[in-house]
Amino acid sequence: MNKGRILLIDDEPAFRQLAQSWLQNSGYQVVTAADLTVARQQLQQFDADLILLDLSLPPEFNPQHTLQALPELISRPVIILTGHAERQLALDAIALGAWDFIAKPVDPDLLAVVIKRALGKHQLEQELSQLKQQRQASTAVQRLIGVSPAMEAMRTLIQRIAPTDVRVLVTGPSGTGKEVVSRALHELSRRAEQAFVSVHCGAIPADLLESELFGYVKGAFTGADKDRPGLLKLADGGTLFLDEIGEMPLPMQVKLLRVLQEGTFFPVGGREQQKIDLRLISATNANLPQLVQKGLFREDLYYRIKGITLETVALSSRSQDIPLLLQFFLEQLSQQQGQRLKLDSTALSWFLQRDWPGNIRELKNTLESVAAVAQGGVISMADISLLHPEAGSAGTTQAVTEAGLQLLDQAVQQLEIRMIKQALEQCNGNKSQAARQLGLSRQGLLKKIDRYQLAD
Ligand SMILES: Nc1ncnc2c1ncn2[C@@H]1O[C@H](COP(=O)(O)OP(=O)(O)OP(=O)(O)O)[C@@H](O)[C@H]1O
């Protein structure tokens, strides 16, 4: 039985041999090294779960020298082996990230306990970080509501592109979720723990954009009474989201191009070059190639930011997503208001039948405003008519109801198909397990598989 892999770094051959045989007898796989150079070589082939480290190692026998190596070792627990006179050093080692220390001569029983605790905690930490990653993965994509083919394709693309550093240009009409898509890309990337800095290029006056992006040094202009880092610096290590990039003034485009080519910039009034490492995601609802033709957008910058282009589509081309979006926003509003909110069937039909030129943003705002005037938990046509007096007469509402319910039916079916496919995949095709996960009886799941022709 292998209880874990241990690397023992100690210069005393007799101790190495003795400790190796104790630990091996206790079920650990053990590799030893007499100094840091050998330890580094061992670690290239032997992925240790734990390190036992003597601080006094050849050639210098200088504990401070060994302490400097700690940061490269502490991705797993490091237990320091100390002589009695080295207590302060051991405490310094703990301050630098070592897990624990144990005094020499080593008591084998005590060593066994310390190792067991350290490995147990390390394993828990790893599981926690995996769970966090999985949760993050699901929440970022879960927030992208929709079952239309366009949304399914978008989710797949996001999951494939997010882990890479490729630049992304998100295009599409206003209110269709370009920023939501960009945030999902960031949250699923290796930069997720770092900043996502969003800059609305059209909202910042042209003469301020440079100092906002690049920052400035004290005395660069009147009022610059101290150094101030810009948004580029704040995004260092993370993602810079340039929204409405089509509205960036031409002189600023030249400067941005240089940053993208060289990875460096100068703050306004500064002489010290700053280096940055960021992922750029840009968004626009303008037609950039047309702006290029008109000379309003630099062609070289366009090709630099383009990377992979993702296109969000208008709500009118994916009306089957409307019921799910309504349900999602109703849940959000219910949580905010502390009461369960729903739409009655005619109100639902009104939402399903209307055109939404402002797309998801307009749908969401309209729902929020009618929810604000509705009394009780059910939003009705009477509530809608207060804000939208033109809202349909009884006749149209009836016609609308049937068409609306048909849409709702389609959306529910598509959602069911997606959830069943996902559950079967996660349970490796085991139908009883998938049924349990979906909260269905096995029989119920089989019927649905049959109805939707999902059997392979
Ligand atoms: N697929 C989606 N699922 C859930 N909510 C969404 C989705 N797409 C957009 N939204 C919501 O719709 C609103 C508008 O989205 P967003 O700001 O991302 O659109 P946009 O395309 O960037 O708009 P603009 O071009 O005007 O900047 C936001 O409140 C956002 O949370």
Domain ranges of the chain: 5-127, 148-313, 317-451
The whole-number pLDDT of residue 400 equals: 46
Mutational pocket test of ligand 1: of 319, 326, 361, 364, the residue with most ligand atoms within 8 Å of the beta carbon: 361
Omega before residue 173 within 30° of 0, cis: no
Task: Kindly report the three-state secondary structure assignment for every residue of 7-63.
Answer: EEECCCHHHHHHHHHHHHHCCCEEEEECCHHHHHHHHHHCCCCEEEEECCCCCCCCH
| Calculated CA dihedral for residues 378, 363, 162, 246, nearest 10 degrees | -160
Pick the residue whose CA is nearest to atom 9 on ligand 1: 177
Please work out whether the CB of residue 63 comes within 6 Å of at least one atom of ligand 1.
no
CATH class of the region 317-451: mainly alpha
Please work out whether the CB of residue 332 comes within 6 Å of at least one atom of ligand 1.
no
Please work out whether the CB of residue 246 comes within 6 Å of at least one atom of ligand 1.
no
Please work out whether the CB of residue 176 comes within 6 Å of at least one atom of ligand 1.
yes
The DSSP output letter for 263 is: S
Position in ligand 1 atom list of the atom nearest CA 243: 27
Please work out whether the CB of residue 146 comes within 6 Å of at least one atom of ligand 1.
yes
Position in ligand 1 atom list of the atom nearest CA 360: 12
pLDDT digit string (tens) for the chain, length 456 residues: 678 999 999 999 999 999 999 999 999 999 999 999 999 999 988 889 999 999 989 888 888 889 988 888 888 999 999 876 777 888 888 888 899 999 888 888 899 999 999 998 888 877 777 676 666 555 667 778 988 899 999 999 999 999 999 999 999 999 999 999 999 999 999 999 999 999 999 888 877 888 999 999 888 788 888 888 999 999 999 999 999 999 999 989 999 999 999 989 999 998 888 999 999 999 999 999 999 999 999 999 999 999 999 999 999 999 889 988 998 899 889 888 888 888 888 888 889 888 999 999 999 999 999 999 988 888 999 999 989 888 755 444 444 455 555 666 676 777 788 888 888 888 888 888 888 888 788 888 888 888 888 876
The residue type at 336: Q
Position in ligand 1 atom list of the atom nearest CA 151: 1
Q: How many CB atoms lie within 10 A of CB 301?
A: 22
Give residue 192 CA to ligand 1 midpoint distance, Å.
20
Please work out whether the CB of residue 177 comes within 6 Å of at least one atom of ligand 1.
yes
pTM for this predicted structure: 0.64
DSSP secondary structure letters along 349-371: HHHHHS--TTHHHHHHHHHHHHH
Query: What would the CATH number be for the domain defined by 5-127?
Result: 3.40.50.2300
Tokens of 28: 């650990």
Please work out whether the CB of residue 247 comes within 6 Å of at least one atom of ligand 1.
no
Residue 326 has phi, psi (to 5 degrees) of -60, -45
Rounded to 5°, the CA angle 413-414-416 comes to 65
Position in ligand 1 atom list of the atom nearest CA 174: 25
Comparing CA positions, the residue from 310, 198, 213, 293 lying closest to residue 252 is 213
Domains 148-313 and 317-451 belong to one CATH topology:
no
Comparing CA positions, the residue from 400, 397, 172 lying closest to residue 286 is 172
Position in ligand 1 atom list of the atom nearest CA 200: 27
Please work out whether the CB of residue 4 comes within 6 Å of at least one atom of ligand 1.
no
Rounded to an integer, what distance in angstroms lies between the CA atom of residue 391 and that of residue 383? 10
Please work out whether the CB of residue 285 comes within 6 Å of at least one atom of ligand 1.
yes
The whole-number pLDDT of residue 392 equals: 57
Rounded to 5°, the CA angle 343-348-350 comes to 130
Please work out whether the CB of residue 141 comes within 6 Å of at least one atom of ligand 1.
no
The whole-number pLDDT of residue 414 equals: 75
Q: Report the topology of domain 148-313.
A: Rossmann fold (3.40.50)
Omega before residue 59 within 30° of 0, cis: yes
Position in ligand 1 atom list of the atom nearest CA 182: 18
Q: Who contacts 154 (Cβ-Cβ below 8 Å, separation ≥6)?
A: 144, 146, 181, 310, 312
The whole-number pLDDT of residue 133 equals: 60
The whole-number pLDDT of residue 376 equals: 81
The whole-number pLDDT of residue 342 equals: 87
Residue 420 has phi, psi (to 5 degrees) of -65, -45
User: What CA–CA distances, in Å, run from 344 to 331, 347, 350?
Assistant: 15, 5, 10
Please work out whether the CB of residue 279 comes within 6 Å of at least one atom of ligand 1.
no
Q: How many CB atoms lie within 10 A of CB 392?
A: 19
Mutational pocket test of ligand 1: of 176, 198, 325, 363, the residue with most ligand atoms within 8 Å of the beta carbon: 176
The whole-number pLDDT of residue 176 equals: 96
Give residue 364 CA to ligand 1 midpoint distance, Å.
9
Contact in structure between 138 and 187 (CB atoms under 8 Å): no
The whole-number pLDDT of residue 299 equals: 96
